[in-house]
Amino acid sequence: MDWKRFGFIALIITILFGAVVLVGQSQQRPLLIITSMLATTIAVATPLTLGALAGVYCERSGVVNIGIEGMMLSAAFFGWFTGMYLSNVYHWTLMPSILTGTVVAILTGALMGLLLAWLSVTFKVDQIIGGTVINILAVGLTGFLNRQLFFGKTSLFGGTVPSSPGVFSAIHLPITEIFAPLCKGGNICLENINAINRVFDQKPIAWAAIILVFVSHYVLFHTRWGLRTRAVGEHPRAADTVGINVEGMRYANVIIGGMMAGLAGAYFTIESIPSFEPLMTNGRGFISLAAMIFGNWTPIGAWAAALVFGSSQALQINMQLYRDAIPPEWSFLQQSYVVGLTPYILTMLILTGIIGKTTPPAADGVPYEK
Amino acid sequence: MTENNIVLEAKGITKQFPGVLASDNVNFDLRKGEIHALLGENGAGKSTLMNLIYGLHNPDKGEIFVNGKAVVIHSPKDSIALGIGMVHQHFMLIPVFDVAENVMLGDETTKRGSLDHKFVADRIKEISAQYGLDVDPNALVGSLPVGIQQRVEIVKTLYRNAEIVILDEPTAVLTPQEAEDLFRIMRDLTARGVSIIFITHKLKEVLAVADRITVMRAGRVINTVTPAETDSAQLANMMVGRQVILTVDKQDHKAENEILKVEGLTVRDQRDLETVHNVSFTVRAGEVLGIAGVQGNGQTELSEALTGLRFPTGGKVTIAGRDLTSKSPRIITQAGLAHIPEDRQRHGLVLSYSIADNMALCDYYYPPFSQRGVMQPKALDENARKLISEYDVRTPSPFVNAGKLSGGNQQKVIVARELSRENVKLVIANQPTRGLDVGSIEYIHSEIIKMRDRGIAVLLISAELDEIMALSDRIAVMYRGNIVTIIETKKTSREQLGLWMAGAHVEHA
Amino acid sequence: MQPEKQEKSLVRQVLQAILDATLVPFLAIFTAVLIGGLIIKIVGGDPFVAYKALLQGAFGSKKALSETAIWATPYIFAGLAVALAFRGGLFNIGAEGQLAFGAVFSALIGYALPGWLGFDLPFYIHLPLTILAGALAGGTWAAIVGALKAYTGGHEVINTIMMNYIALNMTSFLVGGIMKDKNPLNVISRTPLIAESARIAPIFDGLRIHWGFVLALVMAFAVWWLLNKTTLGFEIRTVGLNPDAAKYAGINVKRIIIITMLFSGILAGLAGSVEVTGLNYRHELGFSSGYGYDAIAIALLGKSHPLGVVLASFLFAAMRNGATRMQFMTQLPVDLISMIQALILLFVAADAIVRYIYRIKVKGERVVLTRGWGG
């Protein structure tokens, strides 16, 4: 990652935050707007970060993964279904059922990864088509099961969708408790500390995503596994000639990537909202890929890029909060359809390379033929 | 010599690839501390045999013995464990890794889970000192010159304690002087008990360095001899299976008016690095100007800039008096360029198109091939039949896909298409005979000379110094993006050119 | 019956070629249907009853046939769009967005043009204008992606997907806002009905099948002719097979990329336009049940050949149309069809799997449809 790129990322985030502060300042103090934007940004960047990590693992080993969207969607369904089923049928309590649900989501992702690896490594199917197969399969599978299990002849719960046990709650860091005495009872000061505390009160998958960014960085650039993974993605024949199992490395990395996408899927139905809707991933898998490209196939860069997309989504959410404060000549910004375009347009803009060229791994997307 | 001196023996090795018997009951042995050359034309089966020994492919039949014991080699992992190392013709190095990372790959040393870069760097320095192979463990491989990259490859095998080292066409990318240096290293290695298999198609090198020579042709071993009992002519005969004329017959040239004029041309590659600096030269009608130089000294970018595939960042290109700087390939072709591209499968052909389509690849858009926007299959067919017979393309019909042809016939399709165009004034031939059999090479050489004798200007770019010397009337030497000198072929020698190719300063007499 | 004569070798060659081209897709369909039957069995249905109902629903009556053809119409257009792009080396995942745009603009010209002009137009002017508006809207939408690819290297796969979401948002904005049907009884996002003069007539009285279906077949022929007979088609195919050689041959690769995307988008736009002018007579949000995505499977199943696309479209149309009756007879959800279609796509894309199951040898070279991020 070059500094120019990080600078550009900081600039976009500043602009997006600035826009909300500008609109909302008549109704709220800037610090509170910024902290609320930050908290939302980190939360909504979670699936993008994990999706981008999924892409990094796959593509660093030489497999283009355009099926992240489908991996997320199917993991979201099976993770949610598991938690819901355990709590409604076996009356498990909240945490055991949603934790099991999370594990199932990760396993679903791993299975989808296995399918992609099988298609692209063993059968050498065009990888973009392989990924598209996964996306379409995921839509068909989740749509069918969602209908069949709840409304079909063999419906499980008499034609209704029972409620899910719930979602993860935030992990509270005692920042307020530690720093509150410094305020000496000042109300605004307390409010500020509370607001800052809320930025860090993220839910478990959000924290896991951030930790995984740094773990992945270490794994890719400082371990034997990482060196071999990158070798396989850059020059598989060279790796083969020193006795590295190219196909094995690709399988393993695509499955690991699938697990990341699976955890991203769990975010939707186990961390964000406690229900499943068809097509609910809404293009996040593809935006993840853009984040991966923007981040130049590095975990930390991808995370930074995911935060850009996260802040553009936070913009949309927060604009709605302050929609009454939007001046009439800018009234089209009240339309969520219009503000909602930001991440998509941003993605296309980034892909034009105006921020500087990125270099994919040399053997990315190329099946290895002995 | 006694039996137990044999460190590697292959018996009755047979390997069938779809459509080719690449290795046909081959026997081969290597003695301790010798340089055993494996000589043969492209496609004779030398690399296949070595890939079988190294475990990249598995033989259909036959046995391999290492130090007298029968072994089964499934993968490079097995051969590395047996002390076999291989330096491939196309280096197996990862450009974005540094030397230490490349060397340790597959055999990494870790400390508490982290790669132990320092340990590896120290080992490399040790090996470097021991064998006189100077390399910097922290240098990024992609930024090293090819000669040094080759040393990294050799260090890689020694790092794994290889006692048998296979060198596959190691001199293809080297200047004559660098090759000499390599031969010195090879002798150093054998003096320390390493045994070397040296694969090449160059007769002179074999005679200079090998202890024994095994000649292969069409997947079979023809004979094994020592340099003392043979000579170039006999070896060439064994390689090709018939008498070979090692020189090209040509008349003195009569240089006429300038056709190609290049002034101050500067070109950048796709990484935006300037690879051609301020280059100027001219090619006249009826002469061949050869551009000599080791691969990767800017020849590719130069020819791309001249043919419109890449836009130069500075300078001027004039063909037959027309300024064609930064013009598209179509406009340059219309102005009289015939271009035999460096990579025939990437640029020159659409492999899944028929020969007929490929023979009109640059001319498909005007009559008779195309009328009012509609293709005319009959015209394409007639054109192809005519060129197939004129240029001796071996194919059952014009409808066969170009991908199904041999390399020599693919190149003939390109040569036929380009040289048969009516208004050709300038031929740019970039590595026109790379990877071809001797028959095709002779044919293409004679076609190039024919063009010259018809009064057409020819720019020949080749990494084969022998080819340059045989065909060119004048020779320009390229080194690191500069033209070091331009000299008449008659007034120079192989050795002198080799020095210039290695960057030696030109004394102006 | 007379025994076949040996002189028929040419006929046999042609038959052999057809067999080679159709064997794997046929087996892919067969395998997917087999697995579909297994799924039906697992969820407690009777596969034979279900498939019988499906076939009856698709082909059992004149009306069923007409409805199947109606389903096939947008599939043919959109499938051709994806197939044409494939032949030019481009992967257009954006047919969904392009056809939505085509539908919106056709609807706009269809209901609003007479009002803007202040007089009614005869159908032979209004209808072509309406269809043209949709085609051009779809074409422009796709050409933007083509231009981005040509001039910046932005990968068309992600860009077409992004354009799908942008199109979805923008059409929602338009159809839910300024283009919304102002009828006080209307609560959903839909445009007013288009004028009579902008409608495509039905072919038969009493059936919904309309001349748009014929237009789809004509377009299939036109695409075949373009690709195989014209100079432009030669250029498109060359760029698709080997862009480096295309550049070497003097073809303006950037121009061809944009033209290919433009044509592809026009075909997708027609899919939307013909739905508006021939069937619904208005644009309503959610009218497309993923035609653009099904089109990818159709193009792959049809091996990017126009005739193959037409046949694959009929298959998908029959399944979609028959599914309603299947649901009625067996209470199996319509979504089952999506599953089977996804499996067909899986087996067609990974034809190596089918070849492996049925032990069929590979003939000819592997066709590369797309390339990594290389741009």
Taking an 8 Å cut-off on Cβ atoms, the answer to whether A340 and C169 are in contact is yes
Given the DSSP bridges, would you call strands B274-284 and B482-488 parallel, antiparallel or unpaired? unpaired
Which is nearest to C108 in space by CA: C145, C132, C133? C133
* Residue A258 scores a pLDDT above 50: yes
Q: Is residue C222 domain-resident?
A: yes
Q: Which residues of B9-27 are buried (b: 16+ CB within 10 A; e: fewer)?
A: bbeebbbeeeeeebbbebe
Q: Is residue B342 domain-resident?
A: no
Among residues B421, B444, B473, the one where a domain terminates is: B421
* Whether residues B116 and B180 fall in one domain: yes
Q: Is residue A68 domain-resident?
A: yes
List, for chain C, all residue ranges whose pLDDT scores fall below the cut of 70: 1-10, 289, 362-375
Predicted complex ipTM: 0.89
- Return d(Cα A168, Cα A208) in angstroms, integer: 13
Q: Is residue C33 domain-resident?
A: no
Task: Tell me the sheet residues that pair with B292.
Answer: B477
What is the number of other CB atoms lying within 10 angstroms of the CB of residue B431? 21
Q: Is residue C116 domain-resident?
A: yes
Collect all residues of chain A within an 8 Å Cβ-Cβ radius of residue B93. 235, 238
The helix-helix angle for C306-330 and C62-87 (nearest 10°) equals 140
List the domain range (segments joined by +) for residue B494. 245-336+423-509
Q: Is residue A252 domain-resident?
A: yes
What is the number of other CB atoms lying within 10 angstroms of the CB of residue B455? 16
Q: Is residue A369 domain-resident?
A: no
- Return d(Cα C148, Cα C160) in angstroms, integer: 11
* Whether residues B320 and B443 fall in one domain: yes
* Whether residues B279 and B401 fall in one domain: no
Listed in sequence order, the residues at least 6 apart from A24 whose beta carbon sits closer than 8 Å to its beta carbon are: A33, A318, A321, A322, A325
Using CB atoms, which residue from A129, A283, A353 is nearest to C161?
A283
Collect all residues of chain A within an 8 Å Cβ-Cβ radius of residue B103. none
Whichever domain contains A133, its CATH number is 1.10.3470
List the domain range (segments joined by +) for residue A175. 3-158+171-351
Among residues B212, B240, B268, the one where a domain terminates is: B240
Taking an 8 Å cut-off on Cβ atoms, the answer to whether A144 and C293 are in contact is no
* Structure confidence at residue B2 (pLDDT): 44
Q: Mean pLDDT throughout A346-356?
A: 79
* Whether residues B143 and B44 fall in one domain: yes
Whichever domain contains B288, its CATH number is 3.40.50.300
Collect all residues of chain A within an 8 Å Cβ-Cβ radius of residue C159. 348, 351
A·B CB contacts under 8 A: 66
Using CB atoms, which residue from B92, B97, B114 is nearest to A241?
B92
Q: Is C283 exposed, middle or buried (0-12, 13-18, 19+ CB in 10 A)?
A: buried
Which is nearest to B253 in space by CA: B415, B489, B13? B489
Vertex C5 angle, CA C4 and C8, to 5°: 100
* Whether residues B260 and B389 fall in one domain: no
Residue with tokens 């988008």: C265
Torsional sign, CA C58, C62, C66, C67? negative
Q: What is the pTM of this model?
A: 0.89
Phi, psi of C43 (to 5 degrees): -85, 10
Q: Is residue C44 domain-resident?
A: no
- Write out the DSSP string of A3-37: HHHHHHHHHHHHHHHHHHHHHHTTTS-HHHHHHHH
Q: Which of C339, C340, C360, C369 to mutate to test the interface with A (most CBs of A within 10 A)?
A: C339
* Structure confidence at residue C21 (pLDDT): 77
Which is nearest to B341 in space by CA: B309, B296, B297, B314? B309
* Whether residues B235 and B254 fall in one domain: no
Subunits next to B (3 or more Cβ pairs <8 Å) are A, C
Q: How many domains would you assign to chain C?
A: 1
Q: Would you put residue B406 in left (φ > 0), alpha (ψ -120 to 50) or beta?
A: beta
* Structure confidence at residue C336 (pLDDT): 86
List the domain range (segments joined by +) for residue C203. 75-313
Q: Is residue A357 domain-resident?
A: no
A362 touches chain C (CB under 8 A): no
Q: How many domains would you assign to chain A?
A: 1
**E strand intervals along B67-171:** 69-71, 84-87, 110-111, 114-115, 164-168
* Whether residues B434 and B374 fall in one domain: no
Higher-confidence residue of A152 and A231: namely A231
Closest residue in C to B362 (Cα–Cα): C249
Taking an 8 Å cut-off on Cβ atoms, the answer to whether B57 and A370 are in contact is yes
What is the number of other CB atoms lying within 10 angstroms of the CB of residue A122? 16
Q: Is residue A363 domain-resident?
A: no
* Structure confidence at residue B307 (pLDDT): 96
Closest residue in C to A141 (Cα–Cα): C339
Collect all residues of chain C within an 8 Å Cβ-Cβ radius of residue B331. 250
**E strand intervals along B68-170:** 69-71, 84-87, 110-111, 114-115, 164-168
Helix or strand (DSSP H, E) at B460: strand B457-461
Which is nearest to B37 in space by CA: B276, B168, B251, B206? B206
Among residues B421, B441, B465, the one where a domain terminates is: B421
Q: How many domains would you assign to chain B?
A: 3
Q: Is residue B35 domain-resident?
A: yes
Are C194 and A318 in contact by the 8 Å Cβ rule? The answer is: no
**E strand intervals along B76-194:** 84-87, 110-111, 114-115, 164-168
Indicate the SS3 state at residue B115. Answer: strand
Q: Is residue C53 domain-resident?
A: no
Which is nearest to B295 in space by CA: B86, B464, B96? B464
CA distances to A320, B357, B377, C139, C324 from C231, in Å:
53, 12, 11, 21, 45
- Return d(Cα C44, Cα C41) in angstroms, integer: 5
- Give the neighbor-by-neighbor strand order of the sheet with B337-340: B337-340, B426-430, B457-461, B288-292, B474-479, B482-488
Q: How far is B361 from chain C (nearest CA, A)?
A: 6
Residue with tokens 């690399």: B47
Residue with tokens 């399988």: A251
C365 touches chain B (CB under 8 A): yes
Are B387 and B338 in contact by the 8 Å Cβ rule? The answer is: no
Rg of chain A on CA atoms, in Å: 22
Task: Tell me the sheet residues that pair with B220.
Answer: B217
Are C296 and C93 in contact by the 8 Å Cβ rule? The answer is: yes
Whether residue B368 is preceded by a cis peptide bond, meaning omega within 30 degrees of 0, is: yes
Q: Would you put residue B17 in left (φ > 0), alpha (ψ -120 to 50) or beta?
A: beta
Are B400 and B354 in contact by the 8 Å Cβ rule? The answer is: yes
What one-character DSSP code corresponds to residue C333? -
What is the number of other CB atoms lying within 10 angstroms of the CB of residue B509? 4
Taking an 8 Å cut-off on Cβ atoms, the answer to whether A239 and B57 are in contact is no
pLDDT, averaged in runs of 10, over chain B (509 residues): 75 87 92 94 87 92 94 93 93 95 94 94 93 90 88 94 94 84 92 94 89 93 93 88 69 82 94 90 95 90 95 95 95 96 92 95 94 95 95 90 89 95 95 87 92 94 91 94 93 90 69
C109-155 tens-digit pLDDT: 999 999 999 999 999 999 999 999 999 999 999 999 999 999 988 88
> HSE on the CB side for A330, CA within 13 Å?
13
Contacting B residues, span 90-119, partner chain A, CB-CB under 8 Å? 91-97, 101, 104-108, 110, 113-115
Q: Is residue B341 domain-resident?
A: no
* Whether residues B289 and B182 fall in one domain: no
CA distances to A136, B126, B130, B136, C204 from B123, in Å:
52, 5, 11, 12, 85
CA distances to A141, C300, C340 from C50, in Å:
19, 26, 13
* Whether residues B250 and B378 fall in one domain: no
What's chain B's length in residues? 509
What the block records as the tokens of B338 is 């015939």
Contacting B residues, span 128-187, partner chain A, CB-CB under 8 Å? 156
Contacting C residues, span 320-359, partner chain A, CB-CB under 8 Å? 330-336, 338-339, 341-343, 345-346, 349-350, 352-353
Q: Is residue A218 domain-resident?
A: yes
